[in-house]
Amino acid sequence: MRDLIVTENITLDGVVDATEGWFFPADGDAVVDTSDLVEVVRQHREAADAFLVGRVTFEEMRGCWPLQTDDTTGITDYLDAVGKYVVSSTLSEPGWEPTTILRGPLEDEIRPLKDSPGQDIVTTGSIMLVHDLIRAGLVDEYRLFVYPLVLGRGRRLFPDRTRVPELRCIEARTFVAGTVLLRHRAA
């Protein structure tokens, strides 16, 4: 069985809404070493062969990543090659292969995907989809890149305490730039 992993950039106060670009660690013109973080993200990519997102996140990514010509991180190559699964009732033509549109009830689409052979299934962004995955008990692991910021507003990963699953920490790692990776498995 494949693991479904939620990977999110998150503030200290639990905000995952990146509309203001808050999770970029650089401050003004300062150069911040993120090579250790980039390496961990690369390792996570190599362990996943399926990328699950909602329509809005998919369309935002499709409008950005395939157009990159100078990406040295490997993210463009990964996203162009990985099997992408988009949960949408309105998307008709993905326009970015390989992509599969999932239209049925969430659990009916995700459980067979998790039961199929392969590596990890990763979702990022797509907060409405993530909330639905949490509510359905489909998430196996949370990889939270915690940035040392407090916004006080914005959408949160766990907006309702009653939906928070029981978790156990399997890794806590601090990066040079001050970001902390917290990995938790659903108990």
State the pLDDT at residue 24. 55
Annotated domain spans of the chain = 4-22+32-186
Nearest Cα neighbor of 159 from 127, 181, 115, 124 is: 127
- pLDDT per residue rounded down to tens, the chain (187 residues): 999 999 999 999 889 986 666 655 444 455 778 889 989 999 999 999 999 999 999 999 999 898 888 888 888 999 999 999 999 999 999 999 999 999 989 999 999 999 999 999 999 989 999 999 999 999 999 999 999 888 888 888 988 766 778 899 999 999 998 999 999 998 8
State the pLDDT at residue 6. 97
- The phi and psi torsions of 102 (rounded to 5 degrees) equal -100, 120
Task: Select the CATH number that applies to the domain covering 4-22+32-186 from these four: 3.40.50.970, 3.40.430.10, 2.40.50.220, 3.30.420.10.
Answer: 3.40.430.10
Q: Please give the model's pTM, rounded to 2 decimal places.
A: 0.91
Nearest Cα neighbor of 129 from 149, 152, 157 is: 157
